Structure 1
Amino acid sequence: MADSIIALGADHAGFHHKQIIKAHLEKLGFSVKDFGTDSPESVDYPDFAHPLAEAVGSGECKLGILVCGSGNGVAMTANKHPKVRAAICWNEELAALSRQHNNANVLCVPERFVSQELAVQMADIFLHTDFEGGRHGRRVSKISC
């Protein structure tokens, strides 16, 4: 997947983890499209989550990672977009299950509740875990309204 474009975005409360995740992904050879923000100055999370979700939903970017203080705001915003399944994760098992069972295509990281090291580990797991399909595919097909 290193040749796929990964979308990355955050608000001010997720800026620091976003920068660490970005550097890690680029070191691994991923192409990263950074939707901002570019500083810890206060901003509105939908201004970054909507463009990222559009890029993932359209297929421009294979997967996305959003970071904010709780993970909730960016997840709620991203999940308004058709074809986007954004999952808030705060441990490695949830990051894996979000891909395996829910075919999540956007990982939402709560910076105030996870370390930088854990955020990077979750990103790795999310990007390297495949959807299992089968019974999970049937369930995922029922998510959209």
Structure 2
Amino acid sequence: MMIRIAIVVLFSLSVTVRAQQQTTDEIRMSIYFGGGSYDIDSFQQQSLLHWLDSIPNIDRYEVHLISHTDPIGGKRYNEWLSKMRSESVEQLVLQRNIPQHKISRKDWGLDDAVYSNQTYRGMQMNRRVDVILYPIVF
């Protein structure tokens, strides 16, 4: 019985360590948008493409696009806007020959805000798509 408990504890620790390693291995960049917009300005387009080109072995990463909005316009509008923003970023990522199956999206809309929507600055910071690269573990 004690051996089973020890094995379970060791397995749990191993999984925890791997999960912590994955989060520290992530690489991230954010693309910011104007209020009500899903257009990416040319400076940010070039920055994103340059950033992707600078990552060695980009084919060994999964790409997660996490989009957010501020609360202006209501829930339904922001769900649509969040989706449009992540699609805009996805189109740029695809220009770097990253296969579609390695890209995932989560469109939060106005839910799960990271910054306070009670301030203008917080709302600006919430108008974004986070591009997060996770290494694929073989």
When the two structures are superposed, what TM-score results if normalisation uses the length of structure 2? Answer: 0.36
When the two structures are superposed, what TM-score results if normalisation uses the length of structure 1? Answer: 0.34
Higher relative contact order (CA 8 A, sep 6+): 2
Between structure 1 and structure 2, the one with the greater Rg is: 2
